[in-house]
């Protein structure tokens, strides 16, 4: 575990430092422009530039668009209420009436989540200052537009981090976690090990999967802005999703103690197959991370053939008929999951070979 963390430290430091530089540049540029333009509340431009800055270009573009859209809606509603020049309890009631539809819009779409805050700041700020409602609305929009533009521009040109690259790195991380899970499942069947480690690993897999889905959305944002081509990450993500589903099926089939007959008959084949699967997942992770072709894997091919032969022998063994139905179904569920895993690793191999600089190697 310590060695794995140590391997990721350089990448963490690199991405963190790049992000720190982008935030610093965005804050500095927005501050000087806000001062130069004499914006009444120029600090909102700085805050917006910082909030907009995300780890990837796609994330920054999405955040900038959301911030600007929500601000326009909130400023429009806030202006409509502010021109009434209400005060006292009437102003408080008007604020509540303005916030209700904006909050509903924010609940429907996250794009409008800053709209209620924008309207509240406008109404409270106008009431406590000499700003005209029109000037307040225009100033607020200009400040957010400036901050959003600076954030998006800095994300594009200052040490840019593409979501597609980040997504492939995250998918490679998932494949490595799948490799660990396969080894835990092997121990559960063949050595009677407990699955406490699997519970912790499943949390890491869920967290990494959620991050991958988020990065996929940011990659789509880059594609929509014509900053990336829609040719690679979609199929890779879908195949890794299927592998995760297969892994869940294997985990369910291996949960709990197996009958002695089944464990003794299947353990030799599983002890060959599961390490081969685990090692192949690591090869796939390296190929994905470094854009390399996947070499043929003769050891995995032989292990799969041996496992298939063992399952056929198990089916033909009269002792298998004496097992309880739920126990037999777990064995056949494992066979099905392994077959799906074989299909999807082959599919992923083909996808990786297609993107490996034109070097195509047939899948095993």
pLDDT at residue 260 tops 50: yes
Identify the band that residue 359 occupies on the pLDDT scale cut at 50, 70 and 90: very low
Task: Retrieve residue 314's tokens.
Answer: 């198990």
pLDDT at residue 6 is higher than 60: no
Place of tokens 């070499």: 295
Between helices 133-157 and 2-36, what is the axis angle to 10°? 140
Rounded to whole angstroms, what are the CA distances from 284 to 7, 186, 243, 248? 18, 20, 12, 19
Rg of the chain on CA atoms, in Å: 28
CA-CA-CA-CA torsion sign (340, 345, 348, 349): negative
Whole-structure pTM over 0.75, yes or no? Answer: no
pLDDT tens, 201-243?
889 999 999 999 988 888 887 777 666 665 567 788 899 999 9
């Amino acid at each position: 575990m310590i060695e794995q963390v140590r391997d990721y430290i350089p990448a963490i430091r690199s991405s963190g430092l790049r992000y720190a530089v982008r935030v610093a540049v965005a804050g500095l540029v927005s501050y000087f422009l806000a001062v130069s333009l004499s914006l009444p509340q120029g600090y909102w431009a700085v805050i917006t530039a910082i909030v907009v800055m995300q780890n990837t270009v796609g994330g920054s573009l999405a955040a900038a668009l959301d911030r600007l859209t929500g601000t326009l809606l909130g400023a429009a509603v806030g202006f409509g209420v502010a021109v009434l020049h209400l005060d006292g309890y009437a102003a408080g009631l008007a604020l509540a009436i303005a916030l209700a539809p904006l909050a509903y819009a924010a609940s429907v779409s996250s794009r409008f989540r800053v709209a209620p805050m924008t309207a509240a700041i406008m109404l409270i700020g106008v009431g406590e200052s000499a700003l005209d409602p029109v000037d307040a609305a225009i100033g607020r929009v200009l400040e957010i537009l400036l901050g959003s533009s600076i954030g998006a521009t800095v994300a594009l040109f200052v040490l840019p981090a593409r979501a597609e690259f980040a997504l492939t790195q995250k998918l490679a991380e998932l494949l490595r976690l799948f490799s660990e899970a396969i080894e835990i499942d092997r121990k559960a069947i063949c050595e009677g090990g407990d699955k406490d480690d699997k519970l912790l690993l499943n949390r890491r897999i869920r967290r990494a999967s959620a991050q991958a889905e988020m990065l996929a959305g940011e990659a789509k944002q880059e594609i929509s802005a014509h900053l990336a081509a829609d040719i690679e990450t979609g199929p890779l993500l879908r195949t890794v999703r299927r592998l995760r589903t297969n892994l869940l099926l294997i985990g369910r089939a291996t949960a709990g103690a197996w009958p002695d007959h089944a464990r003794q008959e299947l353990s030799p084949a599983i002890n060959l197959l599961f390490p081969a699967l685990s090692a192949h997942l690591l090869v796939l992770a390296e190929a994905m991370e470094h854009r390399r072709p996947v070499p043929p894997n003769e050891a995995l091919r032989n292990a799969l053939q041996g496992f298939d032969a063992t399952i056929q022998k198990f089916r033909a063994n009269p002792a298998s008929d004496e097992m309880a139905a739920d126990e037999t179904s777990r064995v056949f569920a494992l066979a099905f999951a392994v077959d799906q895993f074989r299909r999807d690793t082959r599919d992923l191999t083909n996808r990786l070979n297609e993107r490996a600089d034109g070097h195509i190697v047939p899948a095993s």
